[in-house]
A = this chain, B = another copy of it.
Amino acid sequence: MEKQAEKEFVKEITNMEEDFPRWYTDVILKAELVDYSSIKGCMVIRPYGYEIWERIQAVLDRMFKETGHKNVYFPLFIPESLLNKEKEHVEGFAPEVAWVTMGGSEKLEERLCVRPTSETLFSTMYAKWVGSWRDLPMLYNQWCNVVRWEKTTRPFLRTSEFLWQEGHTVHETQEESQEETIRMLNIYAEFAEKYLAIPVIKGKKTEKEKFAGAVSTYTIEAMMHDGKALQSGTSHNFGQNFSVPFDIKFQNREGKLEYCWQTSWGVSTRLIGAIIMVHGDNRGLVLPPRIAPLQVIMVPVAQHKPGVLDVCREVLDKLKKNYRVQMDERDNYSVGWKFNEWEMKGVPIRLEIGPKDIEKNQAVLVRRDTGEKTFVSLERIEEEVGSLLEQIQDNLFQKALKNREERTQSATNMEEFISKLEKKQGFIRALWCGKQECEETIKEKTGATARCIPFEQEETGGKCVCCGEQAQCEVIFARAY
């Protein structure tokens, strides 16, 4: 019976080594994270998926507030004339915005774009709010939905509408704005590594890849299980690129008017896609304990036998105090079916208790990440669960790191670049002369883009992988989602 159910479940998911994108789609649907809606490119986030987002929000929101940021809410719509104020910005975003042209039955005098990002709106208000250096810094953030009219979409990774947070700050000096930009990048990196168990590489985007309107864009880049990269969070230093056209001036300490210095930074529901693609396996989702909606699923074995449910409930009450735990008491599903369902949903620990366990005063703990079974005494159940959750969290991080290390190669010329990437999908570390031409040639020949100029430069002083001229810096190239 168990074997049968198992087979049925597993055959519904595509093998990840055969077709990773299809495996991804199978998992998000089967684990009930999202569903497709009738609106092209828009997803419905179901309770299990949304709970992951709520946990991401809770942790990040606390980190933002601890560093002095406050939440606000800005309008959904941006008048066309406002979007047009910063030239590079509008060129970057106009091709992919949704336009509102009618209100009720009336044609609007000016088209409104549904916000793809809110630099222009924040800048308008900052121009009104900032008076003197005493008002600075202004450190605001908003949690909201944004719309980018994408041609090809994939749930969480690229959707026409998505949820995110966008921080927007104004500063007195260039140095302070740069400190803020890096501070927020570090918060993203810490969050990804500590909570999502995803190792990330911090670096700077090339001119070609930076945000439309920014002076510099910084990024955290993660490697997915299949070796492709996912940009997982960005932090931008705008310099005075917005404060000049939007006229955001402040009276400085010498009493003179000066333009402000700005930043913005964001992460989105895309992080959920990263969790799935970094940790998942052929049995479904694998969720890091710190972010999992449910950390322990209790499955009573032979639950109709006298005493089983009573003991289970006692254990449940104990564990509830410190962990996110639930008991699956459904009587219309077999134990094997339940095992498979909760594995699919990526719950870090399965806790089984049956009549034989009760005799021995023990419970069975099964790790989702390794499948390993341990028998633990009911007296020590709380500590054992706690320590196992920590082990799982750590193991997931180490596994992801190992995958990244195995799939990171270096190349000194294009032949090597192409053949290494062909043999093993992953990151290619290579020296680069700094010319956009070479960046474009590499993309054409390999499909890999410059993910970032990593802060940690391992090699310097050689020749550009593409043109062979003097290199400026080391770059990480990869094909990306």
Contacts and interface: CB of A to CB of B under 8 A. Distances in A.
Interface residues of A, number: 55
Contacts of A76: 42, 114, 145, 147, 161
- How many chain copies? 2
Contacts of A82: 38
A107 B125 CA distance: 32
A125 B39 CA distance: 12
Contacts of A134: 332
Contact of A47 (B53, B72, B112, B144): B72
A75 B39 contact: yes
Main secondary structure of the interface of A (DSSP, over half): mixed
A337 interface: no
Given A70-B47, A145-B145, A39 B78 contact: yes
Contact of A98 (B103, B147, B149): B103
A50 B100 CA distance: 26
Interface in A99-116: 99-105, 111-112, 114
B37 A75 contact: yes
A95 B103 CA distance: 8
Interface string A402-438: 0000000000000000000000000000000000000
Contacts of A375: none
A73 B102 contact: no
A74 interface: yes
B147 A39 contact: no
Contact of A38 (B95, B98, B124, B129): B124
A230 B103 CA distance: 25
Given A96-B104, A114-B100, A77 B124 contact: no
B95 A98 contact: no
A125 B79 contact: no
Nearest to A94: B104
A72 B45 contact: yes
Contacts of A459: none
B101 A37 contact: no
Contacts of A90: none
Given A50-B72, A73-B163, A112 B39 contact: yes
A140 interface: yes
Contacts of A54: 71
Interface of A: 35, 37-39, 42-47, 50-51, 53-54, 70-79, 82, 94-105, 111-112, 114, 121, 124-125, 128-129, 134, 140, 144-145, 147, 149, 160-161, 163, 332
30 contacts: A37-B75, A37-B121, A37-B124, A38-B124, A39-B78, A39-B79, A42-B76, A43-B75, A44-B72, A44-B121, A44-B125, A45-B74, A46-B72, A47-B71, A50-B70, A50-B73, A51-B70, A54-B71, A75-B161, A76-B114, A76-B145, A95-B105, A97-B103, A98-B103, A99-B101, A99-B103, A100-B100, A100-B114, A101-B102, A103-B149
